[in-house]
Structure 1
């Protein structure tokens, strides 16, 4: 049985960023690192989007970025420059190509293609059972998401951000490549929180994504019809071809995934609760959490103390409570925010970087009664 200092299970964003951070830090120069993933990471299996002020460490890998975002609802149709922010898009394949090659060059890293079956703590070791072998390590970082503990409890609601996206190429120029549609709630809500998300790469190429914040997934045809209807309503019956399709779901919950951590097994990425509960945005938050995690490792702090609830967790919890009980209210809540506040402040708030005074500005822009009811219901749970 091969033994390592650190075992990273899953070579997604969290696993690769963690492996890279460990490899770049002299503190871990004598540490042995194992990465286990059942995939070669040679496919463009996802896209990540985030906003950032100024230049960032992923800029050289970006597929596109936008200086303007568009928001639409029942009574609002507004395009806004977001300087000093830019809205940024990173393709999975570009991320993998860069980080996998870089990490594999590190002599301290071993890469194994295999499927992990079981991870268990045994005294001063972690034992990892794979389909084709066994490994042990001093610590393991597990990115496999298990939804069962969330589904079995009732304290914290579980919604999904679920979506289907078409990468399309149109016959004629119709898109503004300088403007990303962040949320377009003008589409029929059908009792849910539904919006379109449009990322133009040129005047004739874009990603159009039909997205919901709701409890249950849809039939494939409903996502497809939603995108088709949006194209016709906004661009007419223009000819286009679908060059690629993406579909996925991200859990939206304030459930405490961190309580499944021990001092030798730490859950990372979505499995660690690193997705922003109220929006599903994960990539940029993961990047920040990896930095905190590495610092925690260097200080040799217990990992049962790695996560602490803050006020933003509570804000997210109230919103999810509202959308769980009255899913149709999402459109009015987001529209009210964008109608009354600048997008830069909203983006700063969603990044959890606002002051308490700025928080109050955002909260005061939202419809009052749903949040007051949610607060009282949560207090007496």
Structure 2
């Protein structure tokens, strides 16, 4: 079967899903060179949440809509504090509401004819989409629906509270990306703190483990952290957010080969760290600029390094904060931002590899290679 890879010849295009990837592509419909573009949305309410990213060339649109920006950030463990600075790659935060609002305005003001069908896609058949009350064929279909994750992989799961305090306690000059000064009894655990001003911050309890926790686990962790680290026992909750991100192999739930997967459905989430927003924008920019079908935005060696790193974390969770601390200490702000944004150079890779315990990673690398060969042999 031959699948068309050039988007320029598609007269009718459908985008399935109204999450980050769906709306991000919808905002750039005029680059699809189509006569009509239809966006399929599920009628559901998604609370606003924050996406973090480092300033990179493909994120100029997001940069203009950012809520806040920090030229410094920190990794904190019991061992110490690593503070990075960067003028070239500031750490930024954008709200999903602000991004979706911008995308919707771009979609509705496009020169291309656009329409929205507010019904979930229930089934597909080659290049046909079906809902509860209609079906229609398209020349090209982009599928941004959430993927299926392998069982027993690590999950990054979190709950965050945006809070206001009556006293000035937060550092609005430096984002705290990881603070490991919290209990580790329920899995690899750290706090993520974005100080918008001295009184307002997003405080997020994040775990790496194979299953999410009860909501009160995150709430109690946040309250204990605020009390111990900031001496804050009372505060106003402005809003909350939560999520689960798979840290490993994912694949589309719909295996229809006529669909072009985008976003997390096409592996945009970086297995070891997430940062889906940045990689989704990178993926969309790449395939639109090249006029080709969407591909995984990550380099193969990055994915292999991530796979080995995740196996180390699963086998030795007690070493997690030490590993992150050593990694952060080995890099400066620019190299750290490049590495986590998929733009590392040879020197960055050397520093990353040199910072890790060699035999531990070699042992896990051998296991990963053996498992890959077993899978190949199973399907041969």
Alpha-carbon distance in 2 for matches of 1:346, 1:201: 22
Equivalent residue for 1:163? Answer: 158
Alpha-carbon distance in 2 for matches of 1:335, 1:307: 27
Equivalent residue for 1:8? Answer: 15
Alpha-carbon distance in 2 for matches of 1:258, 1:292: 24
Equivalent residue for 1:154? Answer: none
1:357 is aligned, of 322, 347, 350, to: 347
Mapping for residues 183-198 of structure 1, pairs under 5 Å: 183-190=178-185, 192-198=187-193
1:74 is aligned, of 34, 57, 78, to: 78
Query: Contact 1:4–1:136 (CA<8 Å) still a contact in 2?
Result: no
Equivalent residue for 2:145? Answer: 144
Root mean square deviation of aligned Cα: 2.5
SS state at 2:286 partner: helix
Residue 282 of structure 2 is aligned to residue 288 of structure 1: yes
Query: Contact 1:4–1:34 (CA<8 Å) still a contact in 2?
Result: no
Equivalent residue for 1:181? Answer: 176
Alpha-carbon distance in 2 for matches of 1:369, 1:221: 39
Equivalent residue for 1:274? Answer: 268
Alpha-carbon distance in 2 for matches of 1:189, 1:255: 27
Residue 309 of structure 2 is aligned to residue 319 of structure 1: yes
**TM-score of the superposed pair, with normalisation by structure 2:** 0.87
Q: Where does the alignment leave 5 or more consecutive residues of structure 2 unmatched?
A: 1-9, 372-380
SS state at 2:125 partner: strand
Residue 137 and residue 72 in structure 1: after superposition, are their counterparts in 2 closer, same or farther (change >3 A)?
same
SS state at 1:352 partner: coil
Query: Contact 2:17–2:41 (CA<8 Å) still a contact in 1?
Result: yes
Equivalent residue for 1:64? Answer: 68
After TM superposition, where is structure 1 displaced by more than 3 Å over at least 4 residues in a row?
A: 254-261, 305-309
**TM-score of the superposed pair, with normalisation by structure 1:** 0.87
Aligned length: 360
Equivalent residue for 1:20? Answer: 27
Alpha-carbon distance in 2 for matches of 1:195, 1:342: 21
Q: How far does the alpha carbon of each residue in 1:217-257 deviate from its partner, in whole angstroms, 9 at most, with x for none?
A: 11111101110011001111442111111011111113465
2:102 is aligned, of 72, 83, 98, to: 98
| 1:53 Cα deviation after fit | 4.8
1:233 is aligned, of 228, 231, 240, to: 228
Query: Contact 2:69–2:90 (CA<8 Å) still a contact in 1?
Result: yes
Residue 353 and residue 258 in structure 1: after superposition, are their counterparts in 2 closer, same or farther (change >3 A)?
farther
SS state at 1:103 partner: helix
Query: Contact 1:181–1:198 (CA<8 Å) still a contact in 2?
Result: yes
Q: Where does the alignment leave 5 or more consecutive residues of structure 1 unmatched?
A: 152-156
| 1:135 Cα deviation after fit | 2.1
SS state at 2:181 partner: coil
Alpha-carbon distance in 2 for matches of 1:258, 1:355: 34
Equivalent residue for 2:53? Answer: 50
2:324 is aligned, of 324, 334, 343, to: 334
Mapping for residues 109-148 of structure 1, pairs under 5 Å: 109-121=114-126, 126-147=127-148
Alpha-carbon distance in 2 for matches of 1:82, 1:139: 41
